[in-house]
Amino acid sequence: MMGRATALIAGRGALPAHLARALAASGVPFVIAQVEGFEMENPDRLPVETFALERLALLFDLLHERGVSRVVLAGAVTRPRLDPERIDPRTALLLPRILPMLGQGDDAALRAVVALIEEEGVEVVGAGAIAPDLLPAPGVLTEAQPGAADARDAVRAAEIVAALGAADLGQGAVVAQGLCLAVETLPGTDAMLAWVADVAGACRPDPKGARGVFFKAPKPGQDRRVDLPAIGPATVEAAARAGLAGIVIEAGGVLVLDRAETVARADALGLFLWVRPPCGSS
Amino acid sequence: MMGRATALIAGRGALPAHLARALAASGVPFVIAQVEGFEMENPDRLPVETFALERLALLFDLLHERGVSRVVLAGAVTRPRLDPERIDPRTALLLPRILPMLGQGDDAALRAVVALIEEEGVEVVGAGAIAPDLLPAPGVLTEAQPGAADARDAVRAAEIVAALGAADLGQGAVVAQGLCLAVETLPGTDAMLAWVADVAGACRPDPKGARGVFFKAPKPGQDRRVDLPAIGPATVEAAARAGLAGIVIEAGGVLVLDRAETVARADALGLFLWVRPPCGSS
* Average pLDDT score, chain A: 89
- Most B CBs within 10 A among A185, A198, A215, hence the mutation to make, goes to A185
CB-based burial label for A44 (10 Å; 0-12, 13-18, 19+): exposed
Are residues A23 and A130 in contact, defined by beta-carbon separation less than 8 angstroms?
yes
Q: Do B205 and A162 touch (CB under 8 A)?
A: no
Cβ–Cβ contact A205 with B under 8 A: yes
The pTM of this model reads 0.81
pLDDT computed for residue A109 by the predictor? 66
Q: Do A205 and B79 touch (CB under 8 A)?
A: yes
Say which of B166, B178, B179 has its CB closest to residue A163: B166
Q: What is the pLDDT of residues B22-72, one digit of tens each?
A: 999 989 899 999 989 889 999 999 999 999 888 989 999 999 999 999 999
H-run or E-run covering A230: strand A230-231
Cβ–Cβ contact A103 with B under 8 A: yes
pLDDT computed for residue A280 by the predictor? 47
Distance CA A146, CA A127 (A): 28
Reply yes or no on whether the pLDDT at A193 is more than 60: yes
- Most B CBs within 10 A among A78, A169, A181, A199, hence the mutation to make, goes to A169
Report residue B264's pLDDT band, with 50, 70 and 90 as the boundaries. very high
Least-confidence region, from A147-151, B79-83, B169-173: B79-83
Cβ–Cβ contact A260 with B under 8 A: no
Give residue A127's identity as a one-letter amino acid code.
Answer: A
Report residue B281's pLDDT band, with 50, 70 and 90 as the boundaries. very low
Q: What is the pLDDT of residues B88-134, one digit of tens each?
A: 989 888 888 777 776 665 666 667 778 888 988 899 998 888 898 89
Say which of B166, B181, B194 has its CB closest to residue A185: B181
pLDDT computed for residue A128 by the predictor? 87
Chain B residues inside the 8 Å CB shell of A185: 180-183, 200
pLDDT computed for residue B107 by the predictor? 60
Q: Residues with Cβ < 8 Å from A259, sequence gap 6 or more?
A: A133, A134, A136, A141
Chain B residues inside the 8 Å CB shell of A160: 164, 167, 169
